[in-house]
């Protein structure tokens, strides 16, 4: 955990009501820092604009209980209007175009390390802290560099690749050197009220939902053909936005065996499926990405050998970053990558360091 020289530094901890962020607050309080909790309300389960199971009131109550047990204040920030505009709107627009955007990446960029950090600065806080499983170190030039967390199963650097340099340099990730098991154990030692609370699931700040129903609230059905590589029509889909590359799909009219989504033809509104998850059409040997973001503020010198990851918890594959020109990155993969979908985040690493990444085109 990063140590601060000034014990009087004021730190705003993003407290969600979960065990991870609660332990972050406890660790910083124990070390003697001036800690305040900050609960972010981004989604209301009382509004009928979209469907969700986010029980923000219950999460806030848990955050209040933890703050009370640590004897620290808790502030509440209502970013729901901005969240709907910056994250949910972009999510729907991406799916409508046949892409597969990542809401957690957007949420970190715009809300947790955007709006929340801006509020922290205005309120006079020196730093912020979150419960992400990642590490940050500052190099000799004063540039913040991000690295994977120690827990391979919980590492969240993939979701953080778009965090801006200023926010990253001003953020503490106290859990980066711990495993989830250790976090649970420490939370019990601190006697935190949420020590045994299950991890949250689903979309950032919305919760666990039926994603198809969620998309259906805004995106109208647009039926089209489901076709095989030979061009045979074997069924009908209700909209390409309901599918992502690599997804297993049961098409009843084509028999009982499963099919796998291998491509989308937006012009003809066709969904291409294959029979085997090992079909070569599901693998990519090259990637192009735009909408790039580099942690250090600049791309690495090319060509350079790197690792690239196209999904959270996907095993990264070795690749060569061939060029970065006109806002576009070109990579040739030394090992093919499975189910890389347009709109997903392609995150680039050098060893354990996250260099940045972009949106797969």
Do 54 and 179 belong to one domain?
Answer: yes
Question: Could you tell me if residue 65 is inside a domain?
Answer: yes
Q: Name the strand (E) or helix (H) holding 20.
A: helix 19-30
What mean pLDDT comes out for the span 138-159? 96
Among 11, 74, 204, 331, which one carries the catalytic annotation? 204
For residues 341 and 99, the answer to whether their CB atoms sit within 8 Å is yes
Q: What is the mean pLDDT of residues 51-58?
A: 66
Cα-flanking dihedrals φ and ψ of residue 113, to 5°? -110, 15
Tell me, yes or no, if 107 is annotated catalytic: yes
Does 5 fall in a domain? no
23 vs 166: CA distance, rounded Å: 24
- Verify that 307 and 264 share a domain, yes or no: no
CATH number, residue 261: 2.30.30.280
Residue pLDDT, tens place only, 68-90: 999 999 999 999 999 999 998 99
DSSP character string of 65-97:
HHHHHHT--EEEEE-HHHHIIIIIHHHHHHHHT
Task: Tell me the CA end-to-end span of the chain in Å, nearest whole number.
Answer: 37
> In this structure, are residues 19 and 182 in contact, taking their beta carbons and an 8 Å threshold?
no
**What is the per-residue pLDDT for 52?**
47
Please give the residue that has the higher pLDDT: either 257 or 206.
257
Cβ–Cβ under 8 Å, residues 347 and 308: yes
The pLDDT confidence band at residue 3, using thresholds 50, 70 and 90, is very low
Overall average pLDDT of the 234-241 stretch: 91
Among 166, 189, 212, the domain-final residue is: 189
Tokens 């926010």 belong to residue: 167
Which residues span the domain enclosing 47? Answer: 10-189
Structural domain includes residue 2: no
Tell how far CA 304 is from the center of its chain: 26
Collapsed DSSP state (helix, strand, coil) of residue 215: helix
pLDDT at position 203, please? 61
- pLDDT tens sequence across 256-299: 678 999 999 999 999 999 999 999 999 999 999 999 999 999 99
Number of domains in the chain: 3
Shared domain for 167 and 240, answered yes or no, is: no
Contact predicate 53/207, CB 8 Å: yes
CATH of residue 112's domain is: 3.40.50.620
- In order, the DSSP letters of 138-162 are E-TTS-EEEEE-S-TTT--GGGGTT
Nearest to 21 by CA among 7, 45, 6, 39: 39
Q: What is the CA radius of gyration of the chain?
A: 22
Q: Around 311, how many Cα atoms within 13 Å sit in the side-chain half-sphere?
A: 14
Q: Map tokens 């806030």 to a residue.
A: 60
- Residue 284 DSSP symbol: E
The yes-or-no answer on residue 354 being catalytic is: no
Tokens, residue 360:
């797969």
Catalytic site residue from 23, 28, 107, 310: 107
Q: Quick check: is 215 in a domain?
A: no
pLDDT band for 45, please (50, 70, 90 cuts). low
- Are 257 and 286 part of one and the same domain? no
pLDDT tops 90 at residue 33: yes
Tokens of 7: 């014990």
Q: CB count, 10 Å around CB of 35?
A: 26
Q: Which residue has the higher pLDDT, 29 or 204?
A: 29
């Amino acid at each position: 955990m990063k140590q601060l020289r000034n014990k009087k530094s004021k730190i705003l901890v993003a407290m969600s009501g979960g065990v991870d962020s609660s332990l972050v607050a406890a660790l910083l309080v124990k070390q003697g820092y001036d800690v305040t909790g900050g609960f972010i309300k981004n989604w209301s389960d009382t509004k009928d604009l979209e469907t969700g199971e986010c029980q923000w009131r219950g999460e806030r109550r848990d955050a209040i209980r933890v703050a009370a047990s640590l004897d620290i204040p808790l502030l509440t920030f209502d970013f729901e209007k901005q969240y709907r505009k910056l994250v949910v709107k972009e999510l729907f627009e991406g799916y409508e175009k046949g892409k597969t955007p990542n809401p957690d990446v957007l949420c970190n960029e715009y809300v947790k390390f955007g709006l929340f950090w801006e509020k922290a600065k205005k309120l006079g806080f020196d730093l912020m802290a979150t419960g992400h499983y990642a590490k940050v170190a500052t190099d000799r030039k004063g540039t913040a560099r991000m690295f994977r967390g120690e827990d391979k199963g919980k590492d969240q650097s993939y979701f953080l690749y778009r965090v801006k340099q200023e926010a990253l340099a001003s953020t503490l990730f106290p859990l980066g050197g711990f495993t989830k098991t250790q976090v649970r154990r420490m939370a019990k030692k601190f006697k935190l009220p949420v020590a045994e609370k299950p991890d949250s699931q689903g979309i950032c700040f919305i919760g666990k939902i039926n994603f198809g129903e969620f998309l259906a609230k805004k995106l109208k059905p647009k039926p089209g053909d489901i076709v095989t590589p030979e061009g045979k029509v074997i069924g009908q889909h209700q909209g390409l936005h309901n599918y992502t590359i690599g997804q297993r799909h049961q098409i009843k009219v084509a028999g009982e065996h499963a099919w796998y989504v291998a491509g989308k033809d937006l012009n003809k509104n066709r969904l291409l499926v294959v029979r085997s998850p090992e079909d070569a059409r599901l693998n990519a040997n090259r990637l192009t990405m735009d909408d790039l973001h580099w942690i250090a503020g600049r791309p690495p010198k090319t060509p350079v050998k790197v690792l690239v990851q196209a999904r959270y918890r996907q095993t990264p594959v070795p690749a060569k970053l061939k060029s970065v020109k006109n806002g576009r990155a070109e990579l040739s993969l030394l090992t093919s990558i499975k189910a890389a979908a347009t709109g997903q985040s392609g995150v680039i690493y050098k060893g354990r360091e996250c260099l940045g990444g972009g949106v797969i085109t």
